[in-house]
Structures are given as structure tokens and as C-alpha cells.
Amino acid sequence: GAGVSQSPSNKVTEKGKDVELRCDPISGHTALYWYRQSLGQGLEFLIYFQGNSAPDKSGLPSDRFSAERTGGSVSTLTIQRTQQEDSAVYLCASSIAETQYFGPGTRLLVL
């Protein structure tokens, strides 16, 4: 079956612009996660959606970052007024149990 998909694959933007990153999880997966990975670093947890529960936003680095998950499926991560330090690969994962299935990521470059 289809895996987790993310779009766009790459995004180049100018400092100060807003960007939206999309994640399509595996159908039927109740949990959805967003992570950020800076060059050569590990994964930094951003936000977690589980079913209809309130999302765990504890990893969002600032109020410029927000995410929503519509209809328990597709999720959008929005970064407002982007900064150069936001440049990273943004990874989405979904799960129905303990194992997480990752998408290919969106590589964001803020100039």
C-alpha cells in the first residue's frame, strides 16, 4: 500500500515569507508526528496528533510554527515569517502502534 507522502519535496523561500508543508499519512493510521532534522543532526520532535485528542505541541520551537490535521488524515505544518534557522528537513511520520512510518521529508531552505 501507499506509504507516507510529503509535499513539496523541496522548498526554497525568502526570509519572512510563510510556508506550508503537507503530510499525507498512511490510511487508517491514527497518530501523526512532525519532526525537524537540521544538517547532520538527529530528529527534533515538533508536534504529535493522536486521533481526536488535543495535539501534543510541546516541541514547537516558537509561535511561528503551527500545525493542523484535518479529518484525522492530512496534516499541514505552517511556518510563518520564516527565518534562516528554520532551514532543515521536515519529516512526517504516522503510526497505528509503536512503529512509526516516515515520509521522505521536505527540505526547506530559507534564503
What does DSSP say about strands 19-24 and 75-79: parallel, antiparallel, or unpaired? antiparallel
- Partners of 13 in beta bridges: 110
Subset of residues 46 to 105 that bind another protein, contact rule: CB under 8 A: 48, 50, 56, 89, 91, 93, 95, 97-105
Q: For residue 21, state whether it binds another protein (rule: CB under 8 A).
A: no
Nearer to another protein, 41 or 66 (CB): 41
Smallest distance from the beta carbon of 31 to another protein, in angstroms? 6
Q: How far apart are CA 44 and CA 37, in angstroms?
A: 6
Nearer to another protein, 82 or 95 (CB): 95
Q: For the CA atoms of the chain, what is the radius of gyration?
A: 13
